[in-house]
Amino acid sequence: MPDFIATLLLLIALELVLGVDNIVVISIIVSKLPAEARRRARIIGLGLALVARLIMVAGFSWVLSLTDPVLLRMSVRDLILLGGGAFLMWKAVREIHFTVELIEEEPVERASPRKEMASAIAMIIVLDMVFALDSVITAVGLTDHLLTIALAVILSFVVLLFAAGPVGEFVIQNPTFKILALSFLITIGIVLMLEAFHHEVPKAYIYLPMGFATFVQLLQWRLLKNKARQRGDEAGGI
């Protein structure tokens, strides 16, 4: 029992650390949807992604086979990471450009709200699979008890589901945090591409600077709010 609990906690921690990437990605993907549609897209997208992850866990032998070289010494896993990393970089740079230059999305043949939500859900699932690939491979390397892995995936999913909403809405309502999140996406995209070429980047080198940058941005945000409140109090006292 102690070994089971220790392994379960380790796997949950692994899933939650990797879930930080997911929250950032989901926040950006659903940012163009109406508020109620954003909530549905998160729940449906994450729910389907959870099912896909559990299927990956159940077919762990197939997942491990994805590490076999297939093209130019690159495996299917490497190609998926390369494509996912390139897409994240393109998406982040494009969104930063639109946000900073105050450019609206092209109105040409704009899709219906239902199609936009379906597209967002599909994107959440696909990108979650990119992030899930390494975590499942790592989890299978830590233990061969599939029930333990599945339980860790489910528990971490519950945390991610509750965190994605508040964090996502905060990012959407604060443009400076949105740009910071998009910058994180560029970093994540570069790391995924490096991993595709077998250049492992220690996770601490990624998440510590990201955490520090977020902390500094929170201090700046708090300072601006206090200044705005102080100006309001002074104007009210005149």
86 lies in the same domain as 45: yes
**Domains in the chain: how many in total?**
2
Mean residue pLDDT across the chain: 84
Residues 55 and 140 in one domain: yes
- Per-residue confidence (pLDDT) for residue 110, from 0 to 100: 55
* Residue 16 CA from chain centroid, whole number: 11
Q: In this structure, are 222 and 174 located in the same domain?
A: no
Instruction: Tell whether 172 and 138 lie within a shared domain.
Output: yes
Asked if residue 104 and residue 33 are part of one domain, the reply reads yes
Structure-model confidence comparison of residues 107 and 159, the more confident one? 159
Rounded Cα distance between 52 and 112, Å, is 27
The pTM (predicted TM-score) of the whole model is 0.82
Looking at the structure, do residues 185 and 208 belong to the same domain, yes or no? no
Question: Are residues 139 and 152 in contact, defined by beta-carbon separation less than 8 angstroms?
Answer: yes
Domain co-membership, 89 together with 148? yes
Query: What is the Cα–Cα distance from 16 to 154, expressed in whole angstroms?
Result: 11
pLDDT digits (tens, 9 = 90+) for 140-153: 777 778 888 888 88
**Structural domain span for residue 76:** 2-200
Whether 108 has a pLDDT exceeding 70, the answer reads: no
148 and 234 within one domain? no
Q: Are residues 185 and 219 in the same domain?
A: no
| CA distances, 151 to each of 19, 98, 135, 170, 225 (Å) | 15, 40, 14, 29, 41
Q: What's the CA gap between 174 and 11, in Å, rounded? A: 33
Q: Is the separation of the CB atoms in 145 and 53 below 8 Å? A: no
d(CA 73, CA 45): 33
- What does the alpha-carbon distance between residue 124 and residue 179 come to, in Å, rounded to a whole number? 19
* Residue 233 in this model has a pLDDT that exceeds 50: yes
The Cα–Cα gap between 31 and 41 comes to: 11
Tell whether 21 and 57 lie within a shared domain: yes
Residue 1 has pLDDT above 90, yes or no: no
Residue 59 pLDDT greater than 90, yes or no? no
Q: Which residue has the tokens 């990797």?
A: 18
Mean pLDDT within 209-233 = 88
* Opening angle at CA 188, ends 187 and 192, nearest 5: 120
Q: What is the dihedral of CA 219, 223, 229, 234, to 10 degrees?
A: 160
Residues 215 and 115 in one domain: no
